[in-house]
Chain A
Amino acid sequence: MSTYELFTPLEKEDIRKLQVGDVVYLNGIIYTARDEAHAHILELDEKKEKLPFDLEGMAIYHCGPLMVKEEDKWKAVAAGPTTSARMSSMTPKMLERHNVRALIGKGGMPGMADILKDRCVYLAYTGGCAALAAESIKRILSVHWLQLGMPEAIWVLEVEHFGPLVVGIDAHGQDLYEKVRECALTRFYQLR
């Protein structure tokens, strides 16, 4: 189990060195996106329209934050991860069209290890730790699609020492959650 301090935009080499179970702290710019934002990105992609932001080498954070506006400036109050599995059906297309290098969320993404292989990693942030996460958000750089609602909008965050993030799925096809699930299933059949 190694610990890494990484900076966005991420290069392929940055994520290649990561193995499941490693701990990562992220620095730089990350984008929040959950259900509606994913759907909207795919919709614009489908229409061959340009996105108002560049996802090259970026990290997408499955998060619907709680923000407040103080003197015209947005501030993060609470910004923990949301359940990543809800984004599973939309993620393959997203990764086909954009070189996103890290997905951050909670609970894992069943069946996604092959899709992520050689191009992206899944990093787990401790679910519910929203006050802790807000501490490492230094600035809100911008917000897109606020008409989708506060949780569903895309928030561009500048983070510092954001973590601890555990590598849940690495770029080598390994899935920590899958190993735990297989083991749990065996035990379930024994207990039944």
Chain B
Amino acid sequence: MKGRITYDDVVLATVKVIRKAQTCLPSDVIAALERAYEKEESETARSQLGAILKNIEIAGGKSVPMCQDTGILVFFIEIGRSLILDFDLEGAIIEGVRRATVEVPLRPNAVSPLSRKNSGDNTGNGLPDINYTFVEGKKLTIMVAPKGAGSENMSTLHMFNPTEVSKIREFVLETVLKAGGMPCPPIVVGIGIGGSFDKAARLAKQALLMDMNDMNNFELELLKDINTLGIGTMGMGGSITALAVHVKQAYCHTASLPVAVNIQCWANRHAKITLGGNNEHL
């Protein structure tokens, strides 16, 4: 790529990054699943983990989506401060989603919330969900995280009193307990603490994108407790219920303590592509 980034560049990059996310898991996620398969002792859970690893291989090999729930598409866009973007960036991403729906293909998942009418192309008022941040430099990075409903539906948010910090652990455990086998364990647990009602939820979602091999002591302790529950792969028992736990924090009002728990299935799909700087990186 030479010169300025164009509308068409963004459309093509969006299709490409969606295909990558739907067909190939990030290496840290695959490594975590392989470790789980090695460590798990329950025969039933191992048969399920074996099917998951086989499924990942087929999806990658045939370049087809690993799960039929290709999710709603959540984008995290990083815009270099020195970039000149003299076109409709949002429009280009939306067009990319429409094309990916046909080309990858994706299941049409976007419906109007009350009439339940399906738009047919994974777009609609508010979808895809696009988040922008500014960074140094002159590159444009498009990250997509397709989010399926099975795990999203098991997520929770609670506005705690500021004196209830010690109750956070129980709240997380209760969320995982109630979810049981429904969110397709082994899960990844993203926790957002602080911010505001809506910001806590956004932090929880972003926590899902963190490197699964890199957890701090608080996160490791939570992971140990979650796995003690014994829910196991697909809720049929076993020693591994979660692969990773990540926490993101933000300052909040002195009178509040928002806590959000975003549950992610084993298919922790996300991919990114960078445009600008004379090349394109997927």
Contacts and interface: CB of A to CB of B under 8 A. Distances in A.
Interface of A: 1, 21, 23, 36, 63-66, 68, 77-80, 82-83, 85, 106-108, 124, 126-132, 134-135, 149-151, 164, 166, 168, 176-177, 179-181, 183-185, 187-188, 191-192
B259 interface: no
B51 A177 contact: no
B266 interface: yes
B106 interface: yes
Interface of B: 43-44, 47-48, 51-52, 54-55, 58-59, 62, 64-70, 105-109, 111, 116, 118, 148-150, 153, 170, 173-174, 177, 180-184, 225, 228-237, 265-267
A108 B182 CA distance: 7
7 contacts: A127-B150, A166-B48, A179-B237, A180-B235, A181-B235, A188-B173, A188-B174
Contacts of B180: 107-108, 177, 180-181, 184
Contacts of A83: 149-150, 153, 182
A51 to B, nearest CB: 22
Contact of A77 (B47, B105, B116, B233): B105
Contacts of A63: 68
Given A107-B180, A187-B228, A192-B170, A177 B236 contact: yes
B150 A130 contact: no
Nearest to B238: A180
A179 to B, nearest CB: 7
B228 A180 contact: no
Contact of B58 (A131, A149, A166, A180): A131
A66 B101 CA distance: 11
Contacts of A78: 64-68, 70, 107
Contacts of A68: 105
Contacts of A85: 182
Given A107-B181, A130-B65, A188 B236 contact: no
A119 B180 CA distance: 26
Contacts of B235: 107-108, 177, 180-181
B107 A107 contact: no
B220 to A, nearest CB: 15
A80 B52 CA distance: 11
B182 A107 contact: yes
A126 B54 CA distance: 11
Contact of A128 (B62, B116, B173, B266): B266
A187 B228 CA distance: 7
Contacts of B170: 192
Contacts of A166: 44, 47-48, 234, 236
What DSSP secondary structure best describes chain A's contact surface? Answer: mixed
A192 B230 CA distance: 15
A132 B51 contact: yes
Contacts of B236: 124, 166, 168, 176-177, 180
A132 B173 CA distance: 31
Contacts of A179: 237
Contacts of B107: 64-66, 78, 150-151
Given A83-B150, A184-B229, A129 B51 contact: yes
A159 B52 CA distance: 19
A191 B225 contact: yes
Nearest to A85: B182
B68 A80 contact: yes
A108 B235 CA distance: 8
A181 B69 CA distance: 26
A151 B184 CA distance: 19
Given A180-B230, A180-B236, A185-B177, A66 B55 contact: no
Nearest to A77: B64
A108 B181 contact: yes
A131 B64 contact: yes
Given A85-B182, A129-B51, A131-B55, A191 B65 contact: no
Nearest to B59: A131
Contacts of B48: 126, 166
Nearest to B150: A83
A126 B173 contact: no
A27 B222 CA distance: 42
B197 to A, nearest CB: 26
Nearest to B167: A192
